[in-house]
């Protein structure tokens, strides 16, 4: 993954305020979002912004996807979260595709423990589905991706 500089100073400040161990993990997720967008046809450039005071990623150019947001809260210092719009079927689809890969929070989030090994292939697919949600509404893609969900996933342990 290549390191993409922040284009939004407010977002950069939010990342800077996170504890360093969590910041590194969130920056890996951030790069994964940009890399997935760059390799997914029709997504276009991603806009990095703040929503509810947290880094958020929007398919502003193409309008193809649903916003992805991520963050960390002092109340749960060993957890960090990737949020998806709860009015979509995204998280329900992720639960079906990857029941053992992630911990979920309702219809809106994947929750990571700081010590987790992140299943990169599975998460890349989740991000890709979110970035193309308005274009595909998931149904056609679920059939094609179910084989990947049953296959072997790459796992990346980010450094603390």
CATH of domain 9-156: 3.30.1460
Compute the distance between CA of residue 54 and CA of residue 48 in angstroms, rounded to an integer: 10
Q: Which two three-digit tokens encode residue 24?
A: 């590194």
Compute the distance between CA of residue 128 and CA of residue 88 in angstroms, rounded to an integer: 14
For residue 141, pLDDT over 60 is answered with no
- pTM for this entry: 0.82
* Comparison of pLDDT for 138 and 93, the residue scoring more: 93
Grade residue 137 by pLDDT with cuts at 50, 70 and 90. Answer: low
Please enumerate, as own/partner, the contacts of 11-20 that have beta carbons within 8 Å and a separation of 24 or more: 11/48, 11/49, 11/50, 11/55, 14/50, 14/53, 14/54, 14/55, 15/55, 18/72, 19/72, 19/77
Domain ranges of the chain: 9-156
Contact between residue 90 and residue 66 where contact means Cβ atoms under 8 Å apart: yes
Contact between residue 48 and residue 7 where contact means Cβ atoms under 8 Å apart: yes
């Amino acid at each position: 993954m290549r390191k993409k500089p922040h284009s939004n100073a407010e977002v950069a400040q939010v990342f800077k305020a996170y504890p360093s161990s969590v910041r590194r993990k969130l920056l890996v997720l951030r790069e994964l979002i940009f890399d997935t967008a760059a390799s997914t046809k029709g997504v276009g450039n991603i806009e990095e912004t703040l929503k509810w005071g947290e880094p958020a990623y929007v398919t502003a150019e193409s309008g193809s996807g649903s916003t992805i947001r991520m963050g960390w809260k002092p109340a749960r210092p060993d957890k960090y979260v990737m949020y998806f719009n709860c009015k979509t079927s995204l998280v329900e689809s992720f639960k079906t595709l990857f029941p053992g890969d992630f911990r979920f929070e309702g219809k809106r989030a994947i929750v990571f423990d700081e010590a987790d090994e992140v299943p990169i292939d599975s998460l890349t697919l989740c991000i890709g589905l979110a970035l193309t949600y308005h274009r595909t509404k998931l149904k056609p893609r679920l059939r094609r991706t179910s084989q990947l969900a049953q296959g072997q996933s790459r796992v990346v342990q980010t450094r603390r």
